[in-house]
Structure 1
Amino acid sequence: MKRIFWIVLDSAGIGEAPDANKFGDIGSNTWKSCYDSGKLHIPNMEKIGIYQIDGMEYAKSTENPTGSFARMQELSCGKDTTTGHWEMAGIVTPDPLPKFPNGFPKAFIEEFSKRTGRKILCNLPYSGTQVIHDYGREQEETGALIVYTSADSVCQIAAHEDVIPVEQLYEYCKIAREMLTGDLGVGRVIARPFIGTWPNYERTIRRHDFSLAPPRQTVLDALKTEGKDVIGVGKIYDIFEGQGVTETYPNQGNEKNMEKTIEIQKKEFDGLCYVNLVDGDMIYGHRRDIAGYAGALTRFDEQLGEFLANMRDDDMLMITADHGCDPGYTGTDHTREYVPCLIYGKEIKAGVNLHTRKGFADMAATIAEALGSKYRGDGESFWDEIKN
């Protein structure tokens, strides 16, 4: 195998995980909420075998799937982007990253305000769209920074682009990232620029994530060290703090990210192209927009048709997710769910049901073995089961 394309449909979970009760997510099922809407049309993923995956029997399945497939269970203690991607890249995180349900400590807020020279607003868990509605006008008037968190291990910093230029907002986020270590070491500090006038503010795609660096080697690091190309599209560079990535293309939304992936597909490279498509999570999941989420998956499947037509004989495609964010569920947070894994290529067996795999890290081990790397991380490869 020469080239692997690893596409993450961010938050596209496929049903509550066995430990969903610990996260308050019993009954969540992101994919089924989209399916039940009647607005989901995904013939390409159906043909590969999405509805052959264990637990997805509610949909009519393809009799002769063209790919192999599995249901993946997360072992890390979390339901967020960082732990999900770290695990699929080979690192299980047994202890949860710190969360701040009552806001960040006073000492941090005071020092952050001092170092940025700006007043701090909010400092509470908040919906990202609601927080700019409630605090955006004051932010515009005072030049303050809106600092908030969520049910995830994140510190989010919002400001109007006309008041604080985006590059300056990024610098403030870097200061917060330097400060948030140890017991305060959140998985991500996220810049959340917005535009518009109150009450019609809108967040822009110029968000930027400043992540903790992975604690040890991932499959990305191993492949890079071994001389392979590791191309990141979307948030991949941010999630891994750039570690292991040899070439990066920042997030521009699902459609343009897929256009970039298809462009990369037509070029020569040797290794991995790792893609994160975040719109389902960022735009539709958290906002509980079922029709929008189903539409995003449908549009991805349309572009997937073009991608499949361009695949070479020595290419492999793997489609998965990092957690759930059920648009039909209560609240606005991520949901603890299984995720799908579809594997397709000329060198991949058709119709192999891998059933439930415990640990997203099995994907990293499989990708490593397929590309000739000795890396396995915390996973077990299923390459022998799917290769022709």
Structure 2
Amino acid sequence: MKKKAVLIVVDSCGVGALPDAALFGDEGVNTLAHLAEVEGGISLPNMEKMGLGNIIDIKGVSKNNSALGYYGKVMETSKAKDTTTGHWEIAGLVSEKPFNTYPNGFPEITIKKIEEFSKRRVVCNKPYSGTEVIDDYADEQLKDGALIVYTSADSVLQIAAHEDIIPIDELYSICKKSLEICNEYSPVARVIARPYIGTKGSYKRTERRHDYSVPPSGETMLDRLKNHNLPVVGIGKTSDIFAGVGITENRLTNKNNLDGIEKTIKAIKEIDEGLIFTNLVDFDMLYGHRRDPKGYKNALEEFDKYIPEMTNNLNDDDLFIITADHGCDPTYKGSDHTREYIPILAYGKNLKKNINIGVKDSFVSIAASIEKHLLGDTKLEGCFL
């Protein structure tokens, strides 16, 4: 009998500091609880029905003694808090070694090679907020077409470029080559193209961001499903995170979270078997990193409204999971990710109801559960189904 799994990553929606959070400078963080608290509460009636309020205390979200499915939270085994590591572990691959980060900027040789290839000067080369770096360096870029290269606490090299100064195809080409340069001289998990438009005082990043990632360091759930001739459909930046490995169809989102939600609903209606794997990046990119709890709250409430349309279109034997990949507490200092538990909300019309899975010790439990559901078995530990 054909059946599918729908896996939605609400990017950065952590639910409390992990026991080792202090080692990452993140003691006391809690993305979901804190944003709800500072905004006077949050209304998430559909996730409340699924048991969200049973996982942690969230202002505005009640506990539910008749939750529609499975609920709980999960620890990250990999010693990191970045998007790539989180998604790989969700897909069953634990990263034994954290990716390199560059708190003092990239080595001179890396910058020199990028300048030589692109024939453009590099400015900045230090950790920076993605919006502030444009405000501070755009004028310089507009003068001579320099590349704004910056990083963060994550393992990323980012290149911001005004679309009127550096055409989007050229920016993509530079970023793709820059990943090759980094692989040789200063390894990173991703190189990210960050196009923007506008004039001084009103610069705005566009939706044409593109991530260039290193491929996974080992086999993932995506590979195993693909090897069983099952479709693996990536929605949003999912395919980018896995460098396309294990993905059979890439459905990019070109606008915002709502575009990703609508493409997920469309895929649910069209696809009867395999995996639909969606990443909703706005929660992280627009609200977590920018420390905007109100925007985060509004985006979560918008997402919640579409959950019934997703679940109502599931077939009887389908599996539907909502989770996250790390935290990004919008009430916390700085602008970077936070080391947190992630939530698990799992639903299926024929699944058991009101099951508390407690605290699982690895994101791998998600892959284990999906593989058991779709393949009938799994070699991974931590399955909660």
Deviation per CA, 1:263-312: give whole Å up to 9, x if none: 11111331100000011100011111111000010000001122122222
1:201-239 Cα deviation digits (max 9, x unpaired)? 111111000011001110001101110010010011100
Secondary structure of 2:246's aligned partner: coil
Q: Is the Cα–Cα contact under 8 Å of residues 222 and 375 in structure 1 kept in the other structure?
A: no
What are the equivalent positions in structure 2 for 1:97-246 lying under 5 Å apart? 97-181=99-183, 184-246=186-248
Please say if 1:268 is aligned against 2:264. Answer: no
One-letter code aligned to 2:230:
K
Q: CA deviation at 1:3?
A: 0.8
Asked if structure 2 preserves the Cα contact closer than 8 Å seen for 1:81 and 1:322, the reply is yes
SS at match of 2:207: coil
Return the offset for 1:380: 2.8
Q: Look up the match of 1:31.
A: 32
| Counterpart position of 1:345 | 348
Secondary structure of residue in 1 paired with 2:98: coil
| Paired position in structure 2 for 1:47 | 49
Alignment match of 2:302 (pick from 271, 274, 299): 299
Q: What's the CA shift for 1:183? A: 6.5
1:375 Cα deviation after fit: 4.7
Could you tell me how far apart the structure 2 residues matched to 1:204 and 1:180 are? 25
* TM-score normalised per structure 1: 0.96
CA shift in 2, pair 1:153/1:373, >3 Å = farther
| Identity between Structure 1 and Structure 2 (%) | 48
Aligned partners of 2:102 and 2:155 also within 8 Å: yes
Report the alpha carbon displacement of residue 371 of structure 1 after superposing the two structures with TM: 0.4
Change (3 A) 1:130 1:57: closer
Letter in 1 for 2:350: E
Q: Decide whether aligned partners of structure 1 residues 174 and 369 sit closer, same or farther in structure 2, where only a CA change above 3 A counts.
A: same
Q: C-alpha distance in 2, partners of 1:339/1:301?
A: 17
Range with greater deviation from structure 2 (33-42 or 260-269): 33-42
Mapping of 1:77-88 within 5 angstroms? 77-88=79-90
Alignment of 1:20 onto 2:57: no
**Count of residues paired in the alignment:** 381
What is the rounded CA distance, in whole Å, between the counterparts of 1:285 and 1:91 in structure 2?
25
> What do residues 332-365 of structure 1 show as CA deviations (whole Å, max 9, x unaligned)?
1100000101000112111111110000011101
User: In the TM superposition, what whole-angstrom CA distance separates every residue of 1:175-222 from its partner, at most 9, and x where no partner exists?
Assistant: 111111266221110000000001211111110000110011100011
Q: Deviations over 1:44-100 (max 9, x none)?
A: 0000101112x4376521121111112110011110100000000011112110000
Give the SS at the match of 2:5: strand
Task: Name stretches of at least 5 consecutive residues in structure 1 with no aligned partner.
Answer: 384-388
Amino acid at match of 2:277: Y
What SS class does the counterpart of residue 306 from structure 2 fall into? helix
1:322 counterpart residue number? 325
Identify if the C-alpha distance between structure 1 residues 21 and 219 changes in structure 2 by more than 3 Å, giving closer, same or farther: same
Contact 2:216 2:242 (C-alpha < 8 Å) held by counterparts: yes
For 1:47-66, list aligned pairs within 5 A.
Answer: 47-53=49-55, 55-56=56-57, 59-66=61-68
1:368 aligns with 2:371: yes
Deviation at 1:156, TM superposition (A): 0.2
Change (3 A) 1:341 1:64: same
Residue 166 of structure 1 and its aligned partner are, at CA, apart by 0.9
**Which structure 2 segments of 5+ residues have no match?**
none
AA matched with 1:109? I
User: Match of 1:154, as an amino acid?
Assistant: V
Which residue of 1 is the match for residue 312 of structure 2?
Answer: 309
Distance 2:205 2:166 in 1: 14
- Superposition deviation, residue 39 in structure 1: 5.0
TM-score under structure 2 normalisation? 0.96
The answer to whether the 8 A contact 2:8-2:277 is kept is yes
| Counterpart-to-counterpart distance in 2, 1:264 and 1:129 | 33
The 1-side partners of 2:223 and 2:182 are apart by: 24
Q: Secondary structure at the match of 2:270?
A: coil
Cα deviation digits, residues 117-149 of structure 1 (max 9, x gap): 000000000000000000011111111100000
Are 2:339 and 1:336 equivalent residues in the alignment? yes
CA separation in 2, counterparts of 1:297 and 1:179?
A: 38
1:257 aligns with 2:292: no
Q: Distance in 2 between matches of 1:310 and 1:35?
A: 29
